[in-house]
Amino acid sequence: MKKVLIIGAGPAGLMAAEILLEKGFQVDIYDAMPSAGRKFLIAGKGGLNLTHAESYEKFISRYGNSTAHLKPFLDDFPPSALRAWAQELGFETFVGSSGKVFPIGMGAAPMLRAWLERLRQQGANFHFRHRWLGWDEKNALRFDTAQGEISAVADGAILALGGGSRPKTGSNAAWIPVLEARGVKIAPLKPSNCGFDISWTEHIRTRFEGQAVKSVNLLFDGKSKRGEFIITKRGIEGSLIYAFSAALRDEIESKGSATIQLDMMPDWSAEKLIASISQKRGSRSMSSFLKKRIGLSGAKAALLWEVLPREKWNDIAEIGERLKTLPIKLIAPRPLEEAISSAGGVSFDALDENLMLKAIPNVFCAGEMLDWEAPTGGYLLTACFATGRAAGKNLAEKLLF
């Protein structure tokens, strides 16, 4: 029986393992952590967004510059196939209001438990607390364990070591120098789906940290999207910001900062807004007047006063204009460790079309460690599952024929 090693027990590695077990291989799965799928588990905390139900054409376009590279793998395992796979594992899925797909029950833990149980029944051998270190001079794979260093040989291997965000989950990107030493081209890891720093005043930092700014339109780089974000001590984060994070990060990298425009009153035309706030104010303060006339309060109001120069605080035309286009300057992305995911990784140039490393025969790569990025919305997990599956299939084919 041919033996394969999977290193990394996240969604990509487990999917590769499943395919290889189905094809009759002996499968040994190694992970540095004491248990599998730690990032998958934290992904399930706010609801495990497995994939997305929009048209496949739209879905695939979300991978931006990486679409062409990922398309063959996603074509073979599209969102519909992922949903069918989850159902077969015992987890029906449903489509949320925004088109995002979740398992009924939302959580990742029951799904991971059932999946690991099924893999064990199929014959997978798990080796936890085994940190992969690279290769020895005989090309055996080296692992650091509590009992000291061990090595393992196999007919082929799949690396599914994850990106570099949230390193406490095990994906700490320590594989980068190991692969670089073998001549594998790696694009530097960068934060993706991340928050950003803003030079808030003390007032915003202390009074509004943690508060949501809901139902605003964010405009950047000619694109506009409606959604919400959270004010943090250092800046902003949340789904609306993540949707723009790649473009914002790149703009900051090239120009030193990026300025977003917020339409805080997207349901009001500029004319209606001006007409409403041009009414007689009487003795009311401007804040209480705006609250009464247009319902502006809390974090949204605080953002307006944060941006508007003090001498304009009674200038109705300026207030109206700023409520429709409020500029907010972002000065830095939050560090990779805090991000939801990472951009960069093993370059597609370093891989053949089957995801095998050109520099290291019979070693395949899958998941977030590859050089692609996508917004949140289930796109990350779908591509991890799809590339894991492709790497498993292609390794099996290579070893069988």
Ligand X SMILES: Cc1cc2nc3c(=O)[nH]c(=O)nc-3n(C[C@H](O)[C@H](O)[C@H](O)COP(=O)(O)OP(=O)(O)OC[C@H]3O[C@@H](n4cnc5c(N)ncnc54)[C@H](O)[C@@H]3O)c2cc1C
Exactly one of 8, 235, 320, 375 binds ligand X (CB under 6 A); that residue is 8
131-135 sheet: strands from edge to edge: 131-135, 141-145, 148-152
Question: Is residue 175 within the footprint of ligand X (CB under 6 A)?
Answer: yes
Q: Is 242 in contact with 200 (CB distance < 8 Å)?
A: no
Q: Which is nearer to ligand X, 13 or 320 (CB)?
A: 13
Exactly one of 9, 101, 262, 336 binds ligand X (CB under 6 A); that residue is 9
Q: Which stretch binds ligand X (CB under 6 A): 145-153, 164-172, 267-275, 298-306?
A: 164-172
Q: Which is nearer to ligand X, 98 or 297 (CB)?
A: 98
Exactly one of 62, 69, 83, 166 binds ligand X (CB under 6 A); that residue is 166
Nearest to 50 by CA among 20, 78, 71, 73: 78
Exactly one of 340, 351, 356, 360 binds ligand X (CB under 6 A); that residue is 340
Question: Is residue 341 within the footprint of ligand X (CB under 6 A)?
Answer: yes
Max CA-CA distance within the chain? 86
Question: Is residue 170 within the footprint of ligand X (CB under 6 A)?
Answer: yes
Site string for ligand X, 82-121 (x = CB under 6 A): ----------------------------------------
Distance between CA atoms of 304 and 296, rounded to whole angstroms? 9
Got the DSSP string for 203-223?
Answer: HHHHHHTT-EEEEEEEEETTE
Work out whether strand 93-95 and strand 100-103 pair parallel, antiparallel, or are unpaired. Answer: antiparallel
Q: Which stretch binds ligand X (CB under 6 A): 169-177, 308-316, 321-329, 393-401?
A: 169-177
Exactly one of 4, 141, 158, 161 binds ligand X (CB under 6 A); that residue is 161
With 0-12 CB in 10 A as exposed, 13-18 as middle and 19+ as buried, what is 129?
A: middle
The dihedral sign for the CA sequence 159, 164, 168, 172: positive
Minimum distance of ligand X from residue 299's CB (angstroms): 23
Residues 6+ apart with CB under 8 A from 287: 301, 305
Element (H, E) at 192: strand 186-192
User: Kindly report the CA angle at 202 between 196 and 204, in degrees rounded to 5?
Assistant: 60
Exactly one of 156, 227, 344, 378 binds ligand X (CB under 6 A); that residue is 378
Minimum distance of ligand X from residue 346's CB (angstroms): 11
Identify residue 310 by its one-letter amino acid code.
R
Question: Is residue 165 within the footprint of ligand X (CB under 6 A)?
Answer: yes
Distance between CA atoms of 295 and 323, rounded to whole angstroms? 12
Site string for ligand X, 26-65 (x = CB under 6 A): ----xxxx----xxx-xx----xx----------------
Total residues in contact with ligand X, by rule CB under 6 A: 37
Minimum distance of ligand X from residue 7's CB (angstroms): 5
* Residues within the interface to ligand X (CB under 6 A): 7-13, 30-33, 38-40, 42-43, 48-49, 131-132, 160-162, 165-166, 170-171, 174-175, 340-341, 367-368, 378, 380-381, 384
